[in-house]
Amino acid sequence: MPVPTSTLIKPVESGSAAQPDDAAAAAAVEEFNSNIWLASGEGDLASVRHLLDANTDLTPTSPDDFSYTPVHAAASYGQLEVLEYLLSHPKAALYKPPEQQSPSGAPAPKGAANVQDSDGDTPLFVCETVEAAKMLVEQYKADPTHRNLDGKTAAQAAFENEAYEVAEYLRSLTGEPEPEPEDEEEEYEFDDDEDDDEDDDEDEDKGKDGQEAEGKDSGRGEGRGVDGEQKQQSGAHADSAPAQP
């Protein structure tokens, strides 16, 4: 997600009386005014238009220090007017896809709507509204089957970002199955662990009961053996005693 753009300062028009006197202030104004990425996320079409016209090296797919482009910023915040302006601008045709292939082995998709950041994410990966996703796909041929460097599709990224309507729309194009919610899987695994623990406890209790029962039976057997010996000894004494007259 791009940085919030509430601090964006609009370009100072030439001939304007409002010129900063302090050099540091002037530098700050220039830095904000030249930030097309912030302007794109803010939906500031006037600033975007001015910056593209005034800077020959700046394009709709120019990356910032984090490899984020104006197209990514506009798509992420659902700034449809700015997004359409960027993708229809003549400079958008200057975009060249990276030479490396995607994890699937397919060549990188062409067109400014498929511009990638350093993670291989195209603007579709950061969309939070169906309208922005539809514009990218249906008007500017964004590829919904593209996979980033982690091997994920835009539909998977949207689902993970809880943009469920975007994920559903993209899955309708790619035929991907709806993923299972992770919380349900974790709960299921937790229940299995609990059941295993309960089974172990039951087995342990049964083992203890068995040992106690064996101990009792053994004691009874020993008792019977002692009684038998005593009876035999009593019988022997009785046989050896002299008969009474």
Unique residue bearing structure tokens 């969309």: 127
Whether 140 contacts 111, CB under 8 Å: yes
Identify whether residues 92 and 139 lie together within a single domain.
yes
- Tell whether 5 is covered by a domain: no
Identify whether residues 54 and 173 lie together within a single domain.
yes
pLDDT tens, position by position, for the chain (245 residues)? Answer: 444 443 444 444 444 444 556 776 666 556 655 799 999 999 999 999 999 999 999 999 999 999 999 999 999 999 999 999 999 999 999 999 887 656 666 778 899 999 999 999 999 999 999 999 999 999 999 999 999 999 999 999 999 999 999 999 999 999 999 887 664 444 434 445 555 555 566 666 655 555 555 555 555 555 555 455 554 554 444 444 444 43
- Tell whether 15 is covered by a domain: no
Nearest 5°: the CA angle 168, 2, 97 is 70
Identify whether residues 74 and 140 lie together within a single domain.
yes
pTM as predicted: 0.64
Long-range contacts of 141-145 (CB under 8 A, 24+ apart): 141/111, 141/113, 141/114, 142/109, 142/111, 142/113, 142/114, 143/109, 143/114, 144/170, 144/173, 144/174, 145/106, 145/174
Whether 144 contacts 137, CB under 8 Å: yes
**Domains held by the chain: number:** 2
Whether 8 contacts 44, CB under 8 Å: yes
Identify whether residues 27 and 119 lie together within a single domain.
yes
